[in-house]
């Protein structure tokens, strides 16, 4: 790929840019509140004020402001994730990132979904934190490339707020927030007609939170419910077809849909214990999804669900963090093809109508971790952590074993594509160590570094959703070793963060050219992230962020017939980022101009097809008319750039998820007090 030296800027500056970034408070690094100055790694944050300004219609509009992060937008609310990584797709991609809400994973480990952030209440969040690099020493499996933690708002006194907005392509959204001193309710409802033909979605999210303070305990209980009903538009195909105005509106898969529901109940109990504090988190989780696999021959319908009960405990003191976690999950997956396959005689013969899979998995997980932090000198502190995790799956096939049709009759050409293994159990044990340091040159400058190992146990679909003549998926956990060094601090009105990372992944899981789930892949990930912030008085603020990285294959995995060692991984831009400038001429008015950049990248592992990248401009503004009324507006893709949200090359053609043209949104905020 040609090299372009592009510095990505992110000029997104609130008026408090002069506050020291190393004194900001985070919770995601160690599962309890602490200042950034005690964390030997990089945490990205988007606070409530910035989330309110962004007012995102899709999570990628918010998270591209965190260096090293790209949430690649699919159609509707679908997405794929990159955190110090390529955008990962296919087998092995799901579960490389841990998605959390209030510290609890959105889905059970082993039952991930690549789109699972649409089950988080990001539209209602008070803050979003991103842990970049391995977090397995604290969080366990799936926190391999990083973790996204959506933090929900706490009850406050006297809150009554309504926000309504409308926009392009029949977009309407309403948000209502009500809170007393102890109880808070937040609701968001969205409907969107969709830019492409016969697309769009309806989505509802509800948050309830109750706080109780006793003499020795602080108890917070929260309930989260989400629902998504989406009419999905698929890839459009053809070289540079995303630049054709008529083709961008087309929907090759008007029959596609996705319905997803989630329920989570969590209590947090804080109380003193000895010289420290004990945090206990019991929780329940229920998740279900039904969707048409429009992207596969036969277009089968998948139905999956799982229900979990878990308990997290964390004891913290001045030097020690000790944690113990257990979780039990009951999951089910069924795949059914209602219509005959269209295509070659081979596809018609090997992909039959009827049920392809129908199985249950009972999963048990137990993990324990310890972290020790000590101030060796007035300027130097060290941090050491380790986690052990045990994962056990008990799989039960509810159909005929093997690769026959659901009635037991054989398929032609040697057998059906879908292979159902016989009942079995699988267990995985993993260790994850971490060692870090923080050197404080003075109160305003810190140098830090960490050496960390992340891991990811195989997901249930990789073990039990087999194809062709693979009867057993003999795969093991993925492992990633990471070295990160950086410095951060502030000088007057100027804040800065710079970090360099070098990561090597071993044993990554993929589907090979024989359509078998195998492991043994190796990749490397190296890059630099720069984040600067500068305040020009009280009216103009500016910041700068850059991500420049290289992601390569380190061996020749059999996902291609061609040698891949040394190739750049597909969908891995060398440069990504965004930039904004904020201008506050007075207390009533505010404007923000944002630039979003995605660099060029290869669309295939062989590095034969390439997407040119894109640059977008967005404009946002508000007018605070009085204490009770605020108007806001935003123009997305101001220059009407023709672009693709994501591009790849598969089945002999270029494929694109379409980027939308210039779009206008208008909102009204009412304080109902």
Query: Domain containing 517 — which CATH number?
Result: 2.40.170.20
Question: What pLDDT is recorded for position 89?
Answer: 83
Question: What pLDDT is recorded for position 19?
Answer: 61
**In the predicted structure, residue 4 carries a pLDDT above the cut 50:** no
Question: What pLDDT is recorded for position 514?
Answer: 84
Sign, CA torsion 664/633/193/254: positive
Q: What is the DSSP letter of 485?
A: E
* Mean local confidence (pLDDT), 290-300: 95
Alpha carbon distance 532, 516 (integer Å): 46
Distances (CA, A) of 222 to 102, 225, 426: 9, 10, 34
Number of structural domains in the chain: 1
CB-based contact 662:640 (threshold 8 Å): yes
* Mean local confidence (pLDDT), 178-203: 96
Q: Decide if 545 is inside a domain.
A: yes
* Mean local confidence (pLDDT), 28-49: 92
Which neighbouring-strand residues pair with 399?
Answer: none
Question: What pLDDT is recorded for position 536?
Answer: 87
Structural domain boundaries enclosing 477:
15-671
Q: Decide if 2 is inside a domain.
A: no
**In the predicted structure, residue 157 carries a pLDDT above the cut 70:** yes
* Mean local confidence (pLDDT), 493-506: 96
Q: Residue 66's closest CA among 490, 576, 569, 615?
A: 576
CB-based contact 17:493 (threshold 8 Å): yes
Q: Decide if 4 is inside a domain.
A: no
Q: Decide if 10 is inside a domain.
A: no
**In the predicted structure, residue 538 carries a pLDDT above the cut 90:** no
**In the predicted structure, residue 11 carries a pLDDT above the cut 80:** no
Question: What pLDDT is recorded for position 619?
Answer: 98
**In the predicted structure, residue 12 carries a pLDDT above the cut 60:** no
Q: Decide if 5 is inside a domain.
A: no
Q: 195-244: per-residue pLDDT in tens? A: 999 999 999 999 999 999 998 999 999 999 999 999 999 999 999 999 99
Alpha carbon distance 207, 228 (integer Å): 15
Q: Decide if 398 is inside a domain.
A: yes
Alpha carbon distance 200, 76 (integer Å): 6
Q: Decide if 9 is inside a domain.
A: no
pTM of the model: 0.95
Question: What pLDDT is recorded for position 23?
Answer: 85
Between 148 and 4, where is the model more confident?
148
Q: Decide if 1 is inside a domain.
A: no
**In the predicted structure, residue 7 carries a pLDDT above the cut 60:** no
DSSP letter string, 233-244: ---EESTTGGG-
Q: 518-532: per-residue pLDDT in tens? A: 999 999 999 999 998
* Confidence category of residue 100, pLDDT binned at 50, 70, 90: very high
């Amino acid at each position: 790929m040609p090299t372009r030296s592009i510095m990505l800027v992110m000029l997104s500056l609130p008026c408090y840019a002069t506050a020291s970034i190393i004194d900001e408070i985070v919770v995601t690094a160690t599962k309890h509140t602490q200042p950034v100055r005690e964390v030997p790694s990089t945490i990205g944050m988007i606070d409530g004020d910035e989330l309110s300004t962004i007012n995102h219609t899709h999570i990628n509009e918010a998270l591209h402001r965190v260096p090293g992060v790209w949430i690649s937008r699919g159609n509707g609310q679908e997405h794929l994730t990159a955190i110090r990584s390529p955008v990962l797709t296919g087998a092995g991609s799901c579960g490389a990132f841990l998605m959390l809400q209030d510290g609890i994973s959105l889905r059970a480990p082993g039952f991930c979904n690549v789109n699972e952030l649409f089950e988080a209440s990001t539209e209602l969040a008070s803050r979003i934190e991103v842990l970049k690099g391995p977090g397995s020493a604290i969080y366990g499996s799936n926190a391999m490339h990083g973790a996204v933690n959506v933090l929900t708002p706490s009850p406050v006194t006297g809150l009554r707020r309504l926000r309504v907005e409308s926009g392009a392509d029949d977009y309407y959204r309403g948000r209502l927030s009500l809170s007393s001193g102890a109880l808070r309710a937040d609701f968001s409802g969205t409907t969107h007609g969709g830019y492409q033909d016969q697309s769009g979605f309806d989505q509802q999210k509800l948050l309830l939170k109750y706080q109780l303070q006793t003499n020795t305990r602080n108890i917070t209980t929260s309930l989260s419910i989400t629902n998504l009903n989406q009419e999905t538009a698929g890839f459009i195909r053809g070289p540079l077809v995303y630049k054709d105005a008529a083709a961008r509106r087309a929907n090759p898969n008007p029959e596609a849909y996705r319905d997803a529901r989630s329920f989570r109940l969590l209590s947090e109990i804080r109380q003193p214990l000895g010289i420290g504090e004990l945090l206990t988190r019991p929780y329940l989780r229920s998740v279900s999804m039904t969707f048409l696999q429009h992207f596969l021959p036969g277009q089968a319908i998948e139905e999956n669900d799982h229900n979990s009960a878990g308990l997290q405990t964390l004891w913290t003191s001045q030097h020690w963090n000790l944690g113990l976690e257990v979780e039990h999950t009951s999951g089910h997956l069924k795949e059914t093809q209602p219509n005959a396959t269209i295509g070659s005689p081979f596809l018609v013969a090997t992909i039959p109508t009827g049920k392809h899979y129908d199985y249950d998995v009972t999963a048990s997980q137990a993990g324990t971790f310890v972290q020790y932090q000590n101030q060796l000198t007035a300027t130097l502190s060290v941090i050491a952590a380790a986690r052990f995790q045990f994962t056990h799956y008990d799989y039960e096939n509810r159909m005929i074993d093997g690769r026959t049709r659901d009635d037991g009759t054989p398929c032609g050409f040697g057998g059906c594509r879908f292979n159902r293994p016989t009942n079995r159990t699988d267990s995985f044990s993993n260790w994850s160590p971490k060692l870090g340091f923080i050197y404080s040159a003075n109160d305003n400058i810190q140098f830090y570094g960490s050496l960390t190992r992340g891991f990811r146990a195989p997901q249930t679909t990789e073990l039990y959703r087999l194809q062709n003549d693979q009867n057993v998926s003999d795969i093991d956990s993925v492992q990633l070793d990471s070295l990160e060094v950086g410095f951060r601090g502030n000088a007057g009105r100027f804040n800065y963060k710079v970090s360099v990372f070098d990561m090597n992944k071993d044993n990554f899981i993929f589907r090979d050219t024989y359509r078998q789930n195998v492991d043994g892949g190796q990749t490397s990930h190296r890059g630099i992230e720069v984040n600067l912030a500068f305040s020009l008085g009280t009216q103009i603020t500016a910041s700068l962020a850059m991500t420049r990285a290289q992601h390569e294959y380190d061996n020749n995995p059999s996902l291609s017939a061609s040698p891949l060692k040394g190739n750049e991984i597909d969908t891995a831009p060398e440069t990504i980022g965004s930039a904004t400038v904020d201008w506050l001429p007075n207390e009533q008015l505010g404007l923000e101009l944002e630039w979003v950049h995605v660099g060029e990248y290869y669309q295939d592992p062989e590095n034969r097809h390439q997407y040119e990248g894109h640059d977008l401009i967005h404009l946002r503004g508000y007018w605070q008319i009085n204490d009770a009324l605020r108007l806001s507006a935003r123009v997305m893709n101001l220059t009407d750039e023709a672009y693709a949200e994501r591009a790849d090359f598969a089945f002999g053609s270029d494929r694109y998820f379409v980027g939308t043209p210039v779009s206008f949104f208008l909102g009204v905020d009412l304080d109902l007090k």
